[in-house]
Structure formats: C-alpha cells, structure tokens
C-alpha cells in the first residue's frame, strides 16, 4: 500500500532477502534481469565490498530501489572512487510519492560521507529531470556513432510504412558500406588476431601504455576480469600490431534485443591515448571488425578514442547529425558532486565536458 509522503517510506541498504523482489521489479520495469546478471553486476564488483543498492519499503513491502555501480576512476595522476547511478525503479503502486527523489537524496548524502568523489550516469529522457532535481548537472553530450548495416533496425517497433521504406533502402545501404570499406585505407604489414578469450593481461598492459589525462575507468586486471563476465552479452577481443609488438586492441559486445535487432558495440579501445603506432593498428582493427560483424544489424561506438575520420571511412555516422539525429537520443552525461566542493580529480575539472574520456566501459552494462 502506498504511503502519503516520501518521509514515511523506509530507505535502507540492500538485504539478501531483497534479491527476488528486486529482480521481479527490474523485469517488470526494464525487462530481463536474471540471478546470474545480478550476481555479476552488484555482488562480484571488485571495487567495493558491499552490495551498493538502496531499497525503499512501505510497511515492509518492497517499493523501489536505487542501484549504484562503483568505478575506480583516473584523471591526471590521481585515482578516485566514483559511483554510476543506474537501474533506479519504483513500483507502480508507489510512484508519484517522492520515492525516486528520496532514494537519490539518500544515496548522495551517504556517498558524500564516504571516499567517493563524484557520481554520474546517463539517464534517459524520461528520468533525467528527476536526477537534475536531485542535484545532478549535465556536463557533456557524449558522442555516439552508428554503422547502420540494416536500415530496418532503426525502424523496429515503428509503423508499417516506415518499416517498408527501411527494407527498400537496404540494398543501397549495403552497396554504400561495401564502397566505404573498399576505399578505406588499411595499412600493410599489420597483423590482426582474434583471441579465443578476453586477453585480460594484454588489455591491462595496453591500458598502462597510453592513459589519457581526462576522467576514465582504471583498466586493471581485477576490473577487466569482472567487466567482461556480463552474462547477457557476447564479447570478442581483437588485437593488432607489427614487428612482433601488439599496438592496439578492441573489445566488442554483441546482443540481440527483444525486437530481434542485433547490435555489436565497440566497447573499448586500448590504449586510450593516441599514438602513431596505435592509430595505424586501429585502421586494421576497424576493417577487421566491420568484416567480422557484417551480419549484425548495427555497429555502434560511444567515445573519443577512435578518430572520427576513421569511423567515417567505414560508414559510421554521428548521432548528432541527420539522419541519425531524427531516430536516436543524445547521450547526456549527468554528474553529481558529493565531495568538498572542489569538483576536480587530478587537476581535471569534472564539470568540463573536455575532462571526460568515457566509453561503453563506464556507461552501461554492455
């Protein structure tokens, strides 16, 4: 039964008995959600020892939850613990009673007393206002790029005329992408390898070789071991180099959604920082990936580590320009200062959009 005001709800930390009602509400709210997924995302995380979920109850009844995912972030020469807000949900019987705001405020109050320097997330259009009301600030529009290999993927769930038009455009789109790939410059003498499993030690070494000064997640071995065990995604890793040296690597994640659309994300690119050898290897890696995933409906990338010119050479288009701007929503980064008022890490201003170097690694459970 719903209570009259938010103050009447009990907000507390997650208890093991909350697992089943959490998953039930998650499935009803977002779809999906399994016990194995929960164990991976919230229990096995290497950054904190507790399950970082706040729960709201009404007379003992599960009313809602706010879950956080911890990240060890680096900027400049410093590291800081940060929390990514996500999976906030309120049972339909308890909505419009301030439960969402109460959970958010409780999380910010708690982490303000802990060694957490900031929180962040990328809320959708429906929930963003609630996060901004709780003290969040939009600090950046994160660039996303899509290679649309099957136009019908963008029309999934829309009306019949749009779907028919998208299908009619498919042959022209495939011809266009073949042309882009044939014209893209691929360097000679670069060897591309697909790994049988995620090469965690290699990825960690490549990360250490070129770290940007802007805010990003630390890619050490414990984090990488955890990150690519999400049971809902299929991960593959590719590396490239020459002269007996590995110069760059890409990790992809693929999933088919409830509409039957298969999307392959370029989840991470290492090293994060540019160099001549890395950028040369990336040219071969992106060519290999567009070939390996030619049957996916969409290829997607969010971030700044891959040069825009290289993405364009292989037919990736920005979601900030037509035609994608008409069918996608921009990825708006919202950040929350929970520290002492000095909103910076390693001398990098967290409120400055140029101070972030995020990808799907930090943004979503892909």
Write the CATH number of the domain with boundaries 144-318.
3.40.630.30
Model confidence band, residue 133 (pLDDT cutoffs 50, 70, 90) = confident
Tell me the per-residue pLDDT of 3-34, one tens digit each, with 9 for 90 and over.
Answer: 656 678 999 999 999 999 999 999 999 988 89
63 CB contacts (<8 Å, ≥6 apart)?
2, 9, 56, 57, 90, 91, 93, 94, 99
**Cβ-count burial 128-156 (b if 16+ within 10 Å, e if not):** beebeebebeebbebbbbbbbbbbbbbbb
Prediction pTM value: 0.93
The pLDDT of residue 148: 95
For the chain, where do the domains classified as CATH 3.40.630.30 start and end?
6-140+333-349, 144-318
What is the assigned CATH class of domain 6-140+333-349?
A: alpha beta
Tell me the per-residue pLDDT of 187-240, one tens digit each, with 9 for 90 and over.
Answer: 999 999 999 999 999 999 999 999 999 999 999 999 999 999 999 999 999 999
**Mean local confidence (pLDDT), 87-104:** 90
């Amino acid at each position: 039964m719903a209570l009259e005001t938010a103050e009447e709800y009990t907000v507390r930390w997650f208890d093991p008995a909350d697992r089943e009602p959490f998953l039930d509400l998650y499935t009803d709210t977002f779809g999906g959600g399994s016990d194995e997924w929960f164990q991976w995302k919230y229990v096995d995380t290497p950054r904190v020892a507790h399950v970082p979920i706040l729960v709201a109850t009404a007379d003992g009844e599960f009313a809602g939850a706010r879950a956080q995912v911890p990240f060890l972030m680096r900027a400049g020469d410093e590291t800081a613990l940060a929390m990514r807000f996500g999976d906030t949900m309120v049972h339909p019987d308890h909505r419009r009673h301030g439960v969402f705001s109460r959970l958010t405020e409780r999380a910010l109050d708690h982490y303000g007393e802990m060694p957490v320097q900031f929180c962040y997330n990328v809320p959708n259009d429906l929930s963003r206002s609630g996060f901004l009301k709780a003290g969040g600030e939009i600090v950046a529009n994160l660039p996303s790029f899509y290679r649309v290999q099957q136009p019908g993927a963008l029309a999934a769930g829309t009306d019949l005329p749009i779907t028919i038009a998208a299908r009619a455009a498919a042959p022209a789109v495939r011809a266009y992408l073949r042309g882009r790939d044939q014209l893209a410059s691929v360097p000679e003498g670069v060897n591309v390898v697909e790994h049988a499993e995620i090469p965690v030690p290699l990825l960690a070494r490549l990360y250490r070789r070129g770290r940007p000064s802007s805010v990003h997640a630390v890619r050490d071995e414990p984090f990488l071991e955890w990150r690519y065990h999400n049971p809902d995604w299929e991960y593959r890793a590719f590396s490239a180099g020459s002269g007996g040296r590995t110069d760059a690597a890409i990790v992809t994640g693929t999933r088919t959604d409830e509409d039957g659309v298969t999307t392959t994300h370029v989840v991470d690119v290492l090293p994060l920082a540019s160099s001549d050898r890395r950028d040369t290897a990336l040219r071969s890696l992106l060519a290999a990936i567009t070939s390996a995933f030619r049957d996916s409906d969409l290829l997607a990338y969010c971030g700044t580590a891959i040069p825009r010119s290289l993405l364009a050479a292989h037919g990736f288009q920005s979601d900030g320009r037509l035609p994608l701007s008409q069918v996608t929503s921009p990825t708006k980064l919202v950040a929350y200062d929970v520290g002492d008022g000095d909103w910076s890490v390693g001398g990098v201003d967290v409120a400055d959009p140029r101070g972030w170097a995020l990808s799907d690694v930090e943004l979503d459970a892909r």
